[in-house]
Chains A and B, each alone.
Chain A
Amino acid sequence: MRDRFGGLLAWVGWIGALGALTVAYLPFRDGIDPVYVTLSFLLVVLGGSATGGRALGLALTFIAYFGFHFFFVEAFDSLTMVNARDTFVLAAFLVTSLVASHLVTRARADAAAARARTSEVERLASIGAETLAAGRAEDALRAVIEVIRTTAGVDRGELIPDERAHTRHVQAHELHFPLTAHGQRAGTLVLSHHAEVHLTDAQRRFLTALAHYAALAAERVRLVADAEQAEASRQAEALRASLLAGLSHDLRTPLTTIKAIASRLRGRLPEAAAIEREADRLDRLAGDLVDLSRLNAGAVPIRAEVNAAADLVGAAVQRARDAHAADRLRVVPFDADGSPPVLAMFDFVHALRALSNLVENALKYSPPDSVVDLSVVRDEQTVSFSVADRGPGIAAHEAELVFDAFYRAPGAPMDTGGAGLGLAIARRLAREQDGDVTVTGRPGGGSVFTLTLPAASA
């Protein structure tokens, strides 16, 4: 509206100027050099083109041309020409006027375009600064959206998460920009206005570029949230690990006293054996809690080396012997005399822990008069240590559940000891060494827990 008004003013002004010049020169047209007239008219054409645009420039060109022709070229007050030379003057004037008008108009358009580009670059720079600003990620995102909104000249701008964007229809007077940053969806930018929004292609392209910054800002919000959560998790885990380690020491000192006294009373007091056993159980529980916590915090260094399977089996038997249960553990021979010993890649202490947990589990959950079989099988890639018991077996749907920390099979007797951590720790330790612990049923009743570790050769 203002443009139109301004345009009208320019038209009236410059045409009026032409008229005024014509009136001014009219009395002198007999003796005046046509150069004065042509140059003055040219100035008006230039001025009109510069301020009023191409249309005005063209209009002024032709008005000036015919005005000059009519009033100032013989024969005066008509469009007939008397001198042939005047043809050249007229033609020169027309061409000069047209070219000048064109050049000025173009220069004006170029200048306007350059200003628009500068403004775009400044906008991009300011958005870039907002995106990278060290302020809170949410504030930066809001600032970016605000810059986009004002650039588009719309009433509202907001970021819709993907889940809502799919169900929302594109309403009238809305622009939707899907945002993607680093190959990941970051939501949809919705610009809404009270009236229809018309954008030129150049504006749409520019807004799409700005939307990319919005995507980066949105991604930054998400990453900051993830990082904060991960840090909080890590700190909580580290705190838990250190608390448990302190607890472990504080528990073990009184346990030492209890256990030592109980073992001294073994011959004299029938309950002494039970006291010692329960002290051992508490000790194991404290150890398991600390270890599981440290494993979860990633604080357990695992150094896998080439080890002999027979060594691991022997150490597991030794553990069972220490717990006075070796007579219930039977090893199926696997290292035939002539053949090279079966070797595997593992951290001895941690693999022994895992295997002992499986053996203990088997002994605990099977009848006291039954035997637990330990066998070893080597194939191309792995060495499998299988612990088979004649216990109640594991239901198919529980096969994965038993490896969850603190899981206790429903219906299991409450005094079987431990806290349900043995299998969880065994599996974690196995997996940290590129192995695993799995369970299957046993023909004839019971379960077979298998510890697999990567095979090795000498």
Chain B
Amino acid sequence: MGRTILLIEDEAPIRAVVRDALWSPGDVWLTAPTGSEGLALATAHRPELIVLDLGLPDLDGLVVCRSLRAVTPAPILVLSARHDEAQKVALLDAGADDYVTKPFGSTELRARVRAHLRRTEAAAVRPSGRLVVGELDIDTERRTVTAGGLPVHLAPTEWTLLSALVANRGRTMTHQQLFRAVWGEGTFGHPQQYLRVYITHLRRKIERDPYAPRLIVTEPGVGYRFDLPDPADDA
């Protein structure tokens, strides 16, 4: 069963690279060299994945992202040559799901795409409940966490933070989004500080090696992400 993939990219060599990297038999590929054409295709065909390059000739990437998000729930993966954290944050807030900087390896691109497709599948099948990740067993209904069979005690704030991360697993959440999810709007002071301290506490409790975190991953300058292990990682 093939996927419908929309690629919005104006440079032909990159189009070739992306297609090569993600190709799998049965897939339907839609390509557009401009933002407006891409939007038209997204509206008409309901793709399952969108790869969007930021350097488009007609529209600003941020605008395209927002417009796409308005018409489709499909994961949007953004490609850019700039290593700009502020831009990353803006794109994530505008509805993008991931940000890949050029040059990228095809393995990396494939892994990211797989992660996002898995996420949407998992969300479609089972929106909440129990999540088992390696030795970690998270039960969102009973609000319990066990690591390697032993119960882990989490403070209420730590639990809220973990739930927010797990609910959006596979997707990077910006500092702002996470802070709002845990502490709500209208809080004064230094939000980033609290968030970072609690992330550190959480890692100490649930990571096997808090100094080499595999579950709660830092996206430098952008936010945090609860990573799902990739079955193909061991390959």
Identify the A interface with B (CB < 8 A).
Answer: 248-249, 252-261, 263-264, 266, 276, 279-280, 283, 287, 305-308, 310-311, 313-315, 317-318, 321, 326, 331, 333, 335, 337, 340-341, 343, 348-349, 352, 458
Residue contact B81 to A252, C-beta cutoff 8 Å? yes
B16 — which chain A residues lie within 8 A by C-beta? 257
A309 and B141 alpha carbons, distance in the complex (Å): 33
User: Knowing A248-B81, A341-B201 touch, does A256 contact B104 (C-beta < 8 A)?
Assistant: yes
B106 at the A/B interface (Cβ < 8 Å)?
Answer: yes
A314 and B225 alpha carbons, distance in the complex (Å): 13
Q: A308-B196, A343-B197 are in contact. List 5 more A-B contacts (CB 8 A).
A: A260-B103, A261-B17, A263-B108, A266-B107, A315-B218
B94 at the A/B interface (Cβ < 8 Å)?
Answer: no
* Interface flags, B189-216, vs A, CB<8A=1, else 0: 0101100110111011000001111000
A249 — which chain B residues lie within 8 A by C-beta? 81
Residue contact B17 to A335, C-beta cutoff 8 Å? no
A67 and B217 alpha carbons, distance in the complex (Å): 122
- Residue of B whose beta carbon sits closest to that of A356: B220
Residue contact B193 to A259, C-beta cutoff 8 Å? no
User: Knowing A318-B218, A343-B197 touch, does A310 contact B103 (C-beta < 8 A)?
Assistant: no
B20 at the A/B interface (Cβ < 8 Å)?
Answer: yes
A260 — which chain B residues lie within 8 A by C-beta? 17-18, 20-21, 103-106, 109
A248, A259, A318, A333: the one within 8 Å of B104 (CB): A259
13 contacts between A and B (CB under 8 A): A248-B81, A252-B103, A256-B102, A257-B16, A259-B105, A263-B108, A280-B103, A306-B193, A307-B196, A310-B203, A311-B199, A315-B220, A318-B217
Identify the B interface with A (CB < 8 A).
Answer: 11, 13-14, 16-18, 20-21, 81, 83, 85, 102-109, 190, 192-193, 196-197, 199-201, 203-204, 210-213, 217-218, 220-221
Residue contact B220 to A349, C-beta cutoff 8 Å? yes
A252, A263, A314, A335: the one within 8 Å of B213 (CB): A314
| Dominant secondary structure at the B interface | helix
User: Knowing A256-B17, A317-B211 touch, does A341 contact B197 (C-beta < 8 A)?
Assistant: yes
Residue contact B104 to A253, C-beta cutoff 8 Å? no
- Residue of A whose beta carbon sits closest to that of B212: A317
A341 and B104 alpha carbons, distance in the complex (Å): 34
B104, B201, B221: the one within 8 Å of A348 (CB): B221
Residue contact A333 to B211, C-beta cutoff 8 Å? yes
Residue contact A276 to B105, C-beta cutoff 8 Å? yes
User: Distance (Å) between the CB of B54 and the closest chain A CB?
Assistant: 11
Residue contact B197 to A458, C-beta cutoff 8 Å? yes
- Residue of A whose beta carbon sits closest to that of B218: A315
Residue contact A311 to B21, C-beta cutoff 8 Å? no
Residue contact A349 to B85, C-beta cutoff 8 Å? yes
Residue contact B81 to A264, C-beta cutoff 8 Å? no
A331 — which chain B residues lie within 8 A by C-beta? 211-212
A261 — which chain B residues lie within 8 A by C-beta? 17, 20, 106
B104 — which chain A residues lie within 8 A by C-beta? 256, 259-260
A308 and B105 alpha carbons, distance in the complex (Å): 30
User: Knowing A253-B13, A256-B17, A314-B212 touch, does A335 contact B107 (C-beta < 8 A)?
Assistant: no
User: Knowing A257-B13, A264-B20 touch, does A314 contact B192 (C-beta < 8 A)?
Assistant: no
User: Distance (Å) between the CB of A407 and the closest chain B CB?
Assistant: 25
User: Distance (Å) between the CB of A426 and the closest chain B CB?
Assistant: 15
Determine which residue in A283, A333, A341 has the highest number of CB atoms from chain B within 10 A of its CB, and name it: A341
B109 — which chain A residues lie within 8 A by C-beta? 260
User: Distance (Å) between the CB of A257 and the closest chain B CB?
Assistant: 5
A318 and B210 alpha carbons, distance in the complex (Å): 12
A248 and B80 alpha carbons, distance in the complex (Å): 12
Determine which residue in A249, A263, A279, A283 has the highest number of CB atoms from chain B within 10 A of its CB, and name it: A263
Residue contact B106 to A263, C-beta cutoff 8 Å? yes
User: Distance (Å) between the CB of B157 and the closest chain A CB?
Assistant: 14
B81, B107, B192, B211: the one within 8 Å of A263 (CB): B107
Residue contact A256 to B212, C-beta cutoff 8 Å? no
Determine which residue in B13, B192, B220 has the highest number of CB atoms from chain A within 10 A of its CB, and name it: B220
Residue contact B210 to A335, C-beta cutoff 8 Å? yes
Residue contact A258 to B103, C-beta cutoff 8 Å? yes
User: Distance (Å) between the CB of B21 and the closest chain A CB?
Assistant: 6
Residue contact B14 to A256, C-beta cutoff 8 Å? yes
Residue contact A253 to B102, C-beta cutoff 8 Å? yes
Residue contact B13 to A308, C-beta cutoff 8 Å? no
B106 — which chain A residues lie within 8 A by C-beta? 260-261, 263-264
Residue contact A252 to B13, C-beta cutoff 8 Å? no
User: Knowing A260-B103, A260-B106, A314-B210 touch, does A287 contact B203 (C-beta < 8 A)?
Assistant: no
A256 and B80 alpha carbons, distance in the complex (Å): 11
Residue contact B212 to A326, C-beta cutoff 8 Å? yes
- Residue of B whose beta carbon sits closest to that of A254: B13
A314 — which chain B residues lie within 8 A by C-beta? 203, 210-213, 218
User: Distance (Å) between the CB of B79 and the closest chain A CB?
Assistant: 9
A283 — which chain B residues lie within 8 A by C-beta? 103
A28 and B103 alpha carbons, distance in the complex (Å): 127
Residue contact B13 to A458, C-beta cutoff 8 Å? no
Residue contact B211 to A310, C-beta cutoff 8 Å? yes
User: Distance (Å) between the CB of A356 and the closest chain B CB?
Assistant: 10
Residue contact B103 to A255, C-beta cutoff 8 Å? yes
User: Knowing A326-B212, A335-B204 touch, does A253 contact B221 (C-beta < 8 A)?
Assistant: no
A318 — which chain B residues lie within 8 A by C-beta? 212-213, 217-218
User: Knowing A305-B193, A317-B212, A337-B204 touch, does A253 contact B81 (C-beta < 8 A)?
Assistant: yes
A457 and B218 alpha carbons, distance in the complex (Å): 21
Residue contact A253 to B14, C-beta cutoff 8 Å? yes
Determine which residue in B20, B81, B85, B109 has the highest number of CB atoms from chain A within 10 A of its CB, and name it: B81
A261 and B17 alpha carbons, distance in the complex (Å): 7
Residue contact A311 to B212, C-beta cutoff 8 Å? no
B204 — which chain A residues lie within 8 A by C-beta? 335, 337
A255 and B102 alpha carbons, distance in the complex (Å): 8
Residue contact B20 to A310, C-beta cutoff 8 Å? no
User: Knowing A253-B11, A287-B83 touch, does A310 contact B220 (C-beta < 8 A)?
Assistant: no
Residue contact B102 to A308, C-beta cutoff 8 Å? no
A314 and B210 alpha carbons, distance in the complex (Å): 7
User: Distance (Å) between the CB of B176 and the closest chain A CB?
Assistant: 13
